[in-house]
């Protein structure tokens, strides 16, 4: 349930209460608002009419939003956002995900989302902040008839870790009733990012500009050294100079095209997200290693045999090699790896052509759960979309409806039943469904070189 300190509401000057009024058959009770709080903005226009919104800051400094629709169905969805975001959190950051997943509120669920207490990596601290927000909601509005976790992208790792750490009370009774993980980074910290370490090594072999020859050398697994002033714009300029990735193909030089072709083929990443992955392998790695792991290296490529270039022998002979530090691996595993010990129904959804969190991470999660003996509590679904940050709206509605039925009636869904439910939601949300009920996810080793 959390310590009393975690349940304290802090930052009263920043805590906002926004009410647009109205009655409903399942409307939430009035919040127990601490003295000294201030009124703030109305609910955003993208939410249903007469929705009520609350914003605040918890005891650890994490900003959050709580939203309750007029026709509340009595259930709460605690949302864990993706990222990790490297900019300092701001009070209204949660609105981006609230808009993206406003289908949750339109389906009648209350929604609560934390920005997390700090910028950058940290799965356990984000999980604690998410469960703190769950407790805040319970304290203010009473325990809902069911509480569901929804994690998106990196937030999938956070939500799964939240369920592991805070999913049961001391007496063994459940805190959360279900978990939904969409586009999730579900390989944990020690499996999900190896390909980005490979990207740093392979990119540097071909481009030699990150760092440049006239800049101080540093180990590539570090992302960048402490004190570096390199910006995203400057990194994009270096990538463009080497590969011409943002130029039409006809405008690239022969050297640029060769570099680009080799990098993409060897690291097995899509062209359209090369710049993003290189950015994460630079700035997120720097945050992770320098600020969270005390400089210990969790990544290694010793023994990896790279393939797919126009000269694999030369590449493997000349590419930078580095060995993982056992302490770095241990710390990252403690923070972000998953046990697979599910205790409540868990649904996942992933686009087969997700260019950011590769669909093969679902295979890692499946095997981890199976090894823990919890396979009966997991249903995985896949779509033939080419997106990461948001899939089709009716698909999320189908997940929410299926989870409710699984919790309340014991009706375990299947990919086929999710597809059928999605079609029913199309009439409301006007977007097509893309479930592939016959898809079998491939091993991660086919996408990311095994260590």
Q: Are residues 10 and 130 in the same domain?
A: yes
The whole-number pLDDT of residue 119 equals 93
* 208 belongs to a structural domain: yes
> For residue 2, is pLDDT > 50?
no
Alpha-carbon span 122 to 84, nearest angstrom: 8
Q: Are residues 124 and 143 in the same domain?
A: yes
Q: Are residues 24 and 142 in the same domain?
A: yes
Q: Are residues 299 and 422 in the same domain?
A: no
In the predicted model, what is the mean pLDDT of the chain? 92
User: pLDDT tens digits for 9-44?
Assistant: 333 333 333 333 333 334 445 555 443 232 345 899
Q: What angle do helix axes 123-141 and 326-336 make, rounded to 10 degrees?
A: 20
Residues 6+ apart with CB under 8 A from 42: 18, 20, 53
The CATH number covering residue 59 comes to: 3.40.50.1820
Last-in-domain residue among 254, 288, 321: 321
> For residue 197, is pLDDT > 80?
yes
Last-in-domain residue among 321, 347, 371: 321
Burial class (CB in 10 A: 0-12, 13-18, 19+), 172: exposed
Segment 215-221 shows an average pLDDT of 97
Domain count, the chain: 2
> For residue 278, is pLDDT > 50?
yes
182 phi, psi to nearest 5 deg: -120, 135
* 330 belongs to a structural domain: no
Q: Are residues 206 and 307 in the same domain?
A: yes
The whole-number pLDDT of residue 25 equals 36
Q: Are residues 181 and 241 in the same domain?
A: no
Q: Are residues 168 and 316 in the same domain?
A: no
Q: Are residues 310 and 345 in the same domain?
A: no
Choose among 52, 31, 247: nearest CA to 138. Answer: 31
Last-in-domain residue among 321, 354, 380: 321
72, 108 Cβ separation under 8 angstroms:
yes
Alpha-carbon span 383 to 364, nearest angstrom: 18
Choose among 166, 3, 135: nearest CA to 56. Answer: 135
In percent, the amount of the chain with pLDDT more than 70 equals 91
414, 162 Cβ separation under 8 angstroms:
no
Choose among 308, 328, 324, 325: nearest CA to 316. Answer: 308
* 264 belongs to a structural domain: yes
- Residue 296, sorted as left (phi over 0), alpha (psi -120 to 50) or beta, turns out to be beta
* 94 belongs to a structural domain: yes
User: pLDDT tens digits for 285-336?
Assistant: 999 999 999 999 999 999 999 999 999 999 999 999 999 999 999 999 999 9
Domain that holds residue 128: 5-189+335-446
Q: Are residues 349 and 298 in the same domain?
A: no
User: pLDDT tens digits for 159-191?
Assistant: 999 999 999 998 989 999 999 999 999 999 999
* 146 belongs to a structural domain: yes
Q: Are residues 84 and 142 in the same domain?
A: yes
* 327 belongs to a structural domain: no
């Amino acid at each position: 349930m959390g310590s009393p300190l975690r349940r304290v509401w802090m930052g009263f000057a920043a805590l906002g209460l926004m009410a647009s009024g109205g009655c409903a058959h399942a409307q939430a009770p009035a919040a127990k608002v601490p003295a000294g709080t201030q009124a703030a903005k109305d609910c955003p226009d993208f939410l249903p009419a007469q929705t009520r919104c609350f914003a605040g800051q918890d005891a650890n400094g994490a900003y959050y939003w709580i939203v309750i629709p007029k026709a509340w169905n009595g259930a709460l969805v605690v949302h864990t956002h993706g990222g990790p975001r490297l900019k300092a959190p701001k009070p209204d950051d949660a609105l981006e995900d609230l808009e993206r997943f406003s289908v949750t509120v339109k389906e009648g669920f209350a929604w609560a989302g934390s920005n997390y207490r700090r910028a950058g990596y940290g799965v356990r601290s984000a999980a604690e902040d998410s469960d703190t927000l769950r407790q805040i909601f319970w304290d203010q509005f009473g325990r809902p008839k069911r509480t569901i976790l929804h994690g998106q992208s990196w937030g999938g790792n956070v939500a799964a870790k939240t369920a592991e750490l805070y999913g049961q009370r001391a007496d063994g009774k459940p805190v959360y009733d279900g978990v939904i993980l969409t586009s999730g980074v579900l390989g944990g910290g020690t499996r999900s990012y190896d390909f980005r370490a490979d990207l740093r090594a392979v990119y540097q072999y071909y481009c030699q500009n990150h760092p440049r020859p006239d800049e101080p050398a540093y180990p590539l697994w570090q992302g960048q050294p402490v004190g570096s002033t390199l910006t995203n714009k400057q990194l994009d300029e270096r990538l463009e100079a080497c590969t011409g990735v943002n130029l039409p193909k006809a405008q690239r030089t022969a050297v640029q095209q060769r570099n680009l072709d080799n990098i993409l083929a060897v690291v097995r990443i899509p062209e359209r997200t090369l710049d993003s992955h290189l950015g994460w392998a630079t700035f997120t790695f720097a945050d992770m290693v320098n600020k969270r792991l005390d400089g210990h290296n969790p990544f290694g490529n010793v023994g990896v045999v790279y393939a797919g270039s126009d000269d694999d022998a030369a590449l493997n002979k000349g590419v930078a090699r580095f060995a993982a530090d056992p302490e770095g691996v241990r710390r990252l595993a403690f923070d972000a790896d998953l046990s697979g010990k599910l205790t409540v129904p868990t649904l996942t959804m992933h686009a087969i052509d997700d260019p950011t969190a590769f669909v093969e991470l679902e295979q890692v999660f499946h095997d981890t759960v199976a090894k823990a003996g919890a396979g009966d509590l997991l249903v995985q679904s896949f779509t033939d979309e080419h997106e990461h940050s948001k899939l089709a709206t009716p698909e999320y509605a189908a997940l929410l409806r299926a989870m409710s039925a699984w919790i309340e009636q014991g009706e375990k869904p299947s990919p086929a039943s999710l597809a059928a439910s999605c079609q029913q939601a199309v009439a409301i949300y006007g977007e097509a469904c893309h479930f592939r009920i016959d898809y079998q996810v491939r091993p991660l080793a086919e996408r990311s070189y095994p260590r």
